[in-house]
Structure formats: C-alpha cells, structure tokens
Structure 1
Amino acid sequence: MGDHTLGFFTGLQIGSLWHHNHGYDLLDKPRRAKFTAGLKSVAAEKHENPRLEVITSSPVFKKAGLDADMDQQSWAEWFKCAKLLNRELGRDATVDRVHKLYLPVFFWLKKQIREAKATRDGTMIVGLSCPQGGGKTTITNFLVKMFAAEGITCAIASTDDFYLTYDKQRELAETYASNPLLEFRGNPGTMDVDLMCNTVSALAHCGPGDEINIPRYNKSAYKGRGDRVPEEDWPTVKGPVDLVILEGWCMGFQPVENPSTSDIAEVNEFLKDFAKVYDLLDVMLVVEIADPEYVYDWRKQAEDTMKAKGKAGMTSAQLKDFVDRFMPAYKEYLPGLYGNGVSTELPQLNIKIDSNRIPID
C-alpha cells in the first residue's frame, strides 16, 4: 500500500494519540454574537442562503441524514468547525472539501457517538475503508483534529502497520510461490490479524494510566520490501481513549463464495480470517470510487510528490506492477462492500468520490 501522507500534522504518526487539553472558542465574543444573531432565522433562510443550500444539497450531507439534526446550535458548531478547517487547509480550503466532505462525515460520527452513548458506555470503534490514494489518511487526520477540539481523544491505527515481519512475509511468499498477490505485502494474508484485533481491543478497553503500544511498519526497510519496526520503537497511547479509528484499503472486504481466479481464491481464504476484525467495529465509513483504475493515477501523484521533494520513487513500470497486485482484490470485493455493506447491523456511511476526490451522487 502507498505511504501515509500526514498533511499538516508535522510529526504525527499513525497510531499516535491526539488529545486537546485546553478549550478555546474559534470566534471572539463580538463576532460570535453577530454570527449567532445571523443564525436565529436559519430555518427560514435555508432556501434563500446559497451557502446553506449548497451544504444541505450535497451528497454526503444527504446520505448522512443530517438535515433533521441541524438546529441553530448545530449550525453554529458547523461554521465554527469550518473556521478551524479553513485555517488548517489554507489555500486548499474549498467548499467541496470542507462543507461537502469533512464536516458531514464529522457530524455523522458525532451523531453515532451520541446514539451509542444513549445505550452504553465505552469506546467507539470506527472502520474506515478507502482505496489507496483516495484520501483516507487526510480524512482521518482532520477528524482527529476536530474531535480533539471538542476534548475527545482518538487513537488511530492503520492496517498497514500490521503487515507481517520481513521474515514472515518471505515465508508466506515461498509457501504461495505461484501467487503474485501474496509475494509482497498488501493483500489479506500479508497482515497479522491477531495482532490487529488485540491492539484495537486493547485501545478500546484501556483505562486511566494504561499505556498501549501501537505497531509501526517501515516500508523502506529491505530496499522497499518493508519490515515491522522493533517493538521498543512503537509509539505509545495513554488511556482512556474515546474513539478508535482503524483505516485501511481493504477494510470491509468480505469473502465471496466463488472467487474468480485461483490466485484470488487463496486471498479469499485469508480474508475469512481478516473479517473477524469487523466484529470489533461499531461504525463503518466507506469512501467509494466509481472506477478502481483511479488508483493508478493517485499512486502516480503520490510518487511525483515524493520525487519533487527529492525522495526516491517508483518508475512507471514499478508503479504499474505495484498497483496491479491490488487490482484483483478491488474488482473482486468492492462491489459487495458498496452494494451490501459490511453488516446489516453495522451503521455505514458510503461517500462516493470522483477522480479528483470530490464527493458525487
């Protein structure tokens, strides 16, 4: 899978804990008073205010079912969060990104948290599925930032960090020598599922004073073949944690009854074990793409960015070979994820994006 892009969070690593320890208001008192006054008749102005119309008619807002929840206070919170995002995004702050994507997802998750707390206590575990390059790490980082502003602690883990050690991956490749899908890290079968489940469960149940180590994976080790970082170098999360987000390119994939090829059939068997991760989830976010071929262009964009920074990158042939190893799984499992979801009992929000990562109907 592609390297993590951490955006504006200098020094943030996957598995880090974010916690906002001091409250602040993004609007000073005079501006807040003026802003609040302007929202008093927001319901009546809904069809006259272009900005609100743009927001409420957007695909993610509608799919999230937020319209009934948006009272005066909610809209005030919405635009307060927008100010935070605009500041962090700078020139990249667009209506599409801020109001049509990040904020609808954030408010949907807040709704899920409220509904869950009405029936039980404890940590909520969110699964996030998104193809490589689709922006899952960026979305996750912004969610963490917004939750932190409300005093909600989040722990983030990626399926990438649970890849097998270099030696275990070599053993797997030798065992399935004729299967290119299991030759290198990436597909189900190349991850330590027990370690993943144990880590996520530990994060969800850690209390005050508890410390949980989050595995890390070094993709540049062994000339790019990769290896797990030594345990003594894993980052530590201190409990308690309010929200755990587990993100990955194949999150939500479910085994199929009749695999299309012998290679994907072997991956399918490993996926049966990987699927036990879903028993831990409370909510599922799915970033949906119209065409898996987008991944080739997105991966090239990432490589071009690295090369522009003076870092080594893949050649065109290497890039194609890299993505080719994921494409069979995309084509085999995405239709089921998009059409049926992970589980009928698991709340799921699908966010469909185009090749420019803009939400669409």
Structure 2
Amino acid sequence: MTRSLDALEQALDDWRGAGPFVLGLCGAQGSGKSTLSAALEQRLKVRGVRAAVLSLDDLYLSHDRRQALARAVHPLFAVRGAPGTHDVPQGLALVEAAKAGQDVLLPRFDKATDDPAPEAGWTRAQGPLDVLIFEGWCVGARPQAEADLVAPVNDLEARCDPDGVWRRYANGALAGAYADLFARIDRLVLLAAPGFEVVARWRLQQEQALRAQAPDGARVMSDAEVARFIQHYERLTRHILSDMPSYADLTLRLDEDRRLKDLS
C-alpha cells in the first residue's frame, strides 16, 4: 500500500490549491480504498493539513427506507449497495458544507444493525477543512448506455431482475442525483482491480477474516452468501473498471495482491 499512498499523496499535492479540496477515491470491494483513505488522512494531518474522510458506505439509507424502496420499485433494493440505496441529499449537503469551510458532521452506518449509527457516535470535523477524502465503491461512476442494460450480467439479474427494473432504476439514479453529488469532486482517483473475478475473491477473503475473528453467535456470511451478495455489485464494478480509466484524473492499477502495478 505504501507505493499507492505515496503516489496519491504526490498527486494531491500537485492538484490542490487554496481552499477546501474534495478528493474522490473509487475502488471495488476489498481493494483497500478505506485503508488507503485513512492512511492518507493521517499523513496529511501529520503535515498540518486539515483532512477528513467521508465514506459512501456511511450514507446508506436506513433499513426501513430501503424496505420502502423495495416495495415501491424492486425487491433487490432491500439490499444496500446499488445506486438508489444511499442518502444522496445528505452526502451533497456534507460536501457543500466542507467546500464552504464549515464544520462537517460525518455520519456512520452500523452494518451490524443495518441502520445509521446514532448521531452521538458521528465524528465532527472542524472547518475549514483543507481536504475531504470522499471514498466509495462507485464514487464518480457514470451511468451505462441503455443498450448495455438489456442483458443480465449474472444469475442474480437473470433470476431476480429479468425485466431490468432494478438495474435501470439504479442506472437512472447514477445519471441524476449521484451525478450532482459526484460533480462536487475536484479530482477523481480510481483504485483499479485487475478484474471482477479478483474483486470477488478479495470480498470472500474479507468475510473469511471476519468469520475467524467473530465471537460465537455473530452473524457473518457464508461463502455461498458472499458469492450471491457480490453479484449485486458486479454490473457496475465491471462498468467502472472499463469506463472510469478514460476520465479519472489518476488510475492506480493493482495486481492480485493489491500492490501497485502501474499508474496513469
């Protein structure tokens, strides 16, 4: 990770000027984006740069709001992850507050309860920030062309979304509210996995590590559950790996062990 961190820090130094700067960091599940973001935040703080991290994962809608979306649009929206399952207005308000030099209250989502954590557990970043690192698995993603939505990409889509309602709604969200949010990013960095097959293996490794550390009775996914869960992310992850290198300001290409292979 050190080489990726060095490259990211150097790029950020070259990019930012006076005033708050929003750095977007996109990376598939298991790519190390959260670890990299935290390490960059600490490096910047050591240098006296006021920095904070906003994670897209902490903007998930509550369980009840996703259940309502599942009833109104498509059952797959009960599962957090796809565009449409985040509180985009909340994210937009946070990013605009950071750009205005205000204090920012960074939310936290509790995946154990499948709900936002109580506000008492959120983190207040005192403004004005110099850098807000906005990281997430689809940060900066652009929508797919309509023709690319026709055929399912995996068994989940074929069985549960044969008419494409779920994927078209998510794609429409990317073209609308998410595009407004991502437009506030000053520079975008892609942490690029070698391919989706590697991403699936990384996500399985994450869950296996959690399983090994979890206390008796804790709820963790089986290998079969992970395999199904990752299918919710497959379409957009493949699209990002194909599309985003053409417009990201920096692409850090990783090998299968998450080491930096090259950059552009």
Quick check: 283-292 or 311-320, which moved more? Answer: 311-320
Q: Is residue 2:247 matched to residue 1:341? A: yes
- Read off the aligned partner of 1:238 and give its amino acid letter: Q
Q: Is residue 2:9 matched to residue 1:106? A: yes
Q: Secondary structure at the match of 2:260?
A: coil
Q: 1:353 aligns with which of 244, 254, 262?
A: 254
Q: Is residue 2:39 matched to residue 1:142? A: yes
Q: Is residue 2:106 matched to residue 1:199? A: no
- Read off the aligned partner of 1:301 and give its amino acid letter: Q
CA displacement, residues 93-143 of structure 1 (integer Å, 9 cap, x when unaligned): xxxx32x32212211111112xxx2xxx31011000000100001111111
Which residues of 2 match residues 204-223 of structure 1 at below 5 A? Answer: 204-207=99-102, 211-221=103-113
**How far apart in 1 are the matches of 2:104 and 2:11?**
28
Q: Is the 8 A contact 1:264 1:329 kept in 2?
A: no
Q: Is the 8 A contact 1:155 1:203 kept in 2?
A: no
- Read off the aligned partner of 2:126 and give its amino acid letter: K
Which residues of 2 match residues 9-20 of structure 1 at below 5 A? Answer: none
**How far apart in 1 are the matches of 2:238 and 2:149?**
10
Q: 2:142 aligns with which of 251, 254, 258?
A: 254
Greater relative contact order (Cα 8 A, min sep 6): structure 1 or 2?
2
Q: Which residue of 1 aligns with 2:131?
A: 243
Q: Is residue 2:169 matched to residue 1:274? A: no
Question: How far is the alpha carbon of 1:256 from its aligned partner?
Answer: 2.2
- What percentage of aligned pairs have identical amino acids? 27
**How far apart in 2 are the matches of 1:133 and 1:295?**
7
Q: Secondary structure at the match of 1:329?
A: helix
Q: Is residue 2:225 matched to residue 1:323? A: no
Q: Secondary structure at the match of 1:241?
A: coil
Q: Is the 8 A contact 2:195 2:238 kept in 1?
A: no
Q: Which residue of 2 aligns with 1:41?
A: none
Question: How far is the alpha carbon of 1:230 from its aligned partner?
Answer: 2.7
CA displacement, residues 11-61 of structure 1 (integer Å, 9 cap, x when unaligned): xxxxxxxxxxxxxxxxxxxxxxxxxxxxxxxxxxxxxxxxxxxxxxxxxxx
User: Runs of 5+ in structure 1 lacking a partner?
Assistant: 1-96, 343-347
User: Runs of 5+ in structure 2 lacking a partner?
Assistant: 151-163
Question: How far is the alpha carbon of 1:232 from its aligned partner?
Answer: 3.7
Q: Is residue 2:217 matched to residue 1:314? A: no
**How far apart in 1 are the matches of 2:99 and 2:67?**
32
Q: Which residue of 2 aligns with 1:35?
A: none
Distance 1:198 1:255, change over 3 A: same
Q: What TM-score, normalized to structure 2?
A: 0.86
Q: Is residue 2:74 matched to residue 1:167? A: no
Question: How far is the alpha carbon of 1:212 from its aligned partner?
Answer: 2.5
**How far apart in 2 are the matches of 1:310 and 1:228?**
21
Q: Secondary structure at the match of 1:280?
A: coil
Q: Which residue of 2 aligns with 1:61?
A: none
Question: How far is the alpha carbon of 1:332 from its aligned partner?
Answer: 3.3
Q: Which residue of 2 aligns with 1:153?
A: 50
Following TM superposition, the consecutive aligned residue runs of length 4 or more in structure 1 with deviations greater than 6 angstroms are none
CA displacement, residues 282-328 of structure 1 (integer Å, 9 cap, x when unaligned): 11111112211112211121122222223432111111111111112
Q: Which residue of 2 aligns with 1:128?
A: 25
**How far apart in 2 are the matches of 1:310 and 1:162?**
25
Q: Is residue 2:114 matched to residue 1:233? A: no
Once superposed, what is the RMSD of the aligned Cα atoms?
A: 1.6
Q: Is the 8 A contact 1:176 1:183 kept in 2?
A: no
Q: Is the 8 A contact 1:296 1:320 kept in 2?
A: yes
Query: How many aligned positions are there?
Result: 243
